[in-house]
Structure 1
């Protein structure tokens, strides 16, 4: 599947401006369209996650590249991608609020808290926390 053109991406964003309103969706858009951003974020709310799913539905070829987010973004992306199918199912069946609750469970899991502590420690020591 070919990559979408800049005009196709722009058209999609014009039809769905929420993509630019949510940090996780903006990060996904940036990575998949090869338009680098200096700040990288994961979806942190049900609404942001829903916007990421909207983006993936708009550009199905990007769904096959989601692993790139885990490799090049934060550990939070890795955790979310491990649970992405479940999160999408919850979103589809129960809505954004339920997806938000499940998202928080994934991000607040004990193993994520340990990873978060590592990120904080690295940041305090001047190490890039996205590594």
Structure 2
């Protein structure tokens, strides 16, 4: 079965699967975030589950733990969040989605990397040759 980005229930379930969020209150907030951040394109309303999953993970930041004392290395979800935002950005661009102000994946990636608006984050692609 193909994923349907116009299906709110399916998008909500994908966000829950990606984030592991199971509390009823947060599930309601996920649904609201999906509605608020939905894009508009040729196919009508399109929910953006990768963006919402990334933002939910950013809000739930108890993931900062000390991995090593010398040099204080930290583990966190930054790579996963970046990957989700890149996935959403690619989908948004490929489908010419118009997203509400403040919900752009590019803006979220810029904030994540600490880039200024005149120095935009640029995703890189690696091609593996075997």
TM-score by length of 1: 0.31
**Larger strand share, 1 or 2:** 2
Which structure has the greater CA radius of gyration? 2
Tell me which protein shows more helix as a share of its residues. Answer: 1
- Give the TM-score normalised by structure 2: 0.31
